Amino acid sequence: MKKHPLTRILFIFICTAALTLALGACAAEPEETIVGVWSGVDEAGNTGTIEFQADGTVIIDETLAGDYEIVDEEQIQLEGPAGVISFDYELDGDTLVLANETGSMTFERVEEE
């Protein structure tokens, strides 16, 4: 029995859609990929570290603690003793850039020992 061409096209479409959904489900969420210790430098040459923990805690320069929330794909909020500060962020592999109206800081992921 000869298969109808439409059946073959429909089969290919369904397989492609299933593969796309499966691969999309494997992609890590920003909340997962940002977790870790980051070392950075700002536009003026000042250095610092920031640690994002899986429970939503953030530690800045090993002394200031607070919470963080990834608002969307481009914005993160840090909440601590100074209140809530919003940043635009860009995460590309092991490079993280935080920026707002006061300036920007580029971080590199610190390898865990």
pLDDT in tens, 54-94: 999 999 999 999 999 999 999 999 999 889 999 999 999 99
- What distance in Å separates the CA atoms of residue 89 and residue 104, rounded to the nearest whole number? 9
- Give pLDDT, residue 24: 40
Cα–Cα dist 99/88, whole Å: 5
What pLDDT sits at residue 56?
96
At 11 the pLDDT is 47
Query: Is the per-residue pLDDT at 29 higher than 70?
Result: no
Extract the tokens encoding 73. Answer: 């794909």
Is beta strand 36-42 parallel, antiparallel or unpaired with respect to 75-80? Answer: unpaired
